[in-house]
């Protein structure tokens, strides 16, 4: 390895740690956005960093160790939903400060419940998408 590439790896890792404040979740988002998440004024740096990542096996391995597997599992599950808000309302809502959506079959009719009430919601209140007539993720699908 040349000295120049060592410098680039250090730069890449320092850049990512800087823009994500050491948060593995923010890091995962940066990766998924293919370097498209950046601080204003640092767009070019972000592109250079992402290109370095793509071409460097050392940094790919480093990245792999930075982001826990559960981040990727959560991202995969979220991709089945109409939007991240519905994912949270269905899978991660807590009873105190978020809305809960649940799917149930009521007398064989598909029904989306809000806060446990059988309201037969048809559309997502966040993105406006039609709600499916089954859970977003079927059992054992993900
Ligand atoms: Zn590297
Ligand atoms: Zn939605």
45 domain residue, yes or no: yes
16 domain residue, yes or no: yes
Rounded to the nearest angstrom, the distance between the alpha carbon of 49 and the centre of ligand 2 is 32
Q: Are residues 102 and 128 in the same domain?
A: yes
- Residues near ion ligand 2 (Cβ under 5 Å): 82-83, 86, 124, 126-127, 129
Q: Which two tokens stand for residue 78?
A: 């979220």
Instruction: Name the percent of the chain lying above pLDDT 90.
Output: 45
**Residue 54 CB neighbours (<10 A):** 11
> For the residues 54-64, what does the mean pLDDT come to?
90
C-beta of residue 114 within 8 angstroms of C-beta of residue 99: yes
Q: Are residues 84 and 140 in the same domain?
A: yes
| pLDDT tens digit sequence for 18-44 | 888 878 777 777 887 777 766 677 778
Q: Are residues 63 and 94 in the same domain?
A: no
| Ligand that comes closest to the CA of residue 125 | 2
> For the residues 6-20, what does the mean pLDDT come to?
84
How many domains, the chain? 2
Query: Residue 135 is part of which domain span?
Result: 80-142
- Residues near ion ligand 1 (Cβ under 5 Å): 9, 56, 58-59
Q: State the pLDDT at residue 106.
A: 93
26 domain residue, yes or no: yes
Q: State the pLDDT at residue 5.
A: 64
Nearest to 132 by CA among 81, 91, 79, 78: 81
60 domain residue, yes or no: yes
List, as one string, the DSSP characters of 103-124.
EEEETTEEEEEETTEE----B-
73 domain residue, yes or no: no
Q: State the pLDDT at residue 120.
A: 92
- The DSSP H or E segment spanning 101 is strand 101-106
Q: Considering the entire predicted model, what is its pTM?
A: 0.68
Model confidence at 55: pLDDT above 90? yes
């Amino acid at each position: 390895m040349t000295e120049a590439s060592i410098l680039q790896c250090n730069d890449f890792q320092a850049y990512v740690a800087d823009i994500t404040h050491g948060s593995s979740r923010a890091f995962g988002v940066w990766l998924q956005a293919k370097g498209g998440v950046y601080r204003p004024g640092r767009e070019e740096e972000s592109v250079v960093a992402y290109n370095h990542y793509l071409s460097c096996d050392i940094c790919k391995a480093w990245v792999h160790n930075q982001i826990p597997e559960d981040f990727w599992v959560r991202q995969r599950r979220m991709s089945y939903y109409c939007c991240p808000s519905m994912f949270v309302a269905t899978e991660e809502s807590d009873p105190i400060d978020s809305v809960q959506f649940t799917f149930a079959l009521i007398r064989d009719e598909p029904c989306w419940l809000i806060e446990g009430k059988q309201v037969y919601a048809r559309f997502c209140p966040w993105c406006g998408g039609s709600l499916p007539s089954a859970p977003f993720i079927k059992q054992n699908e993900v």
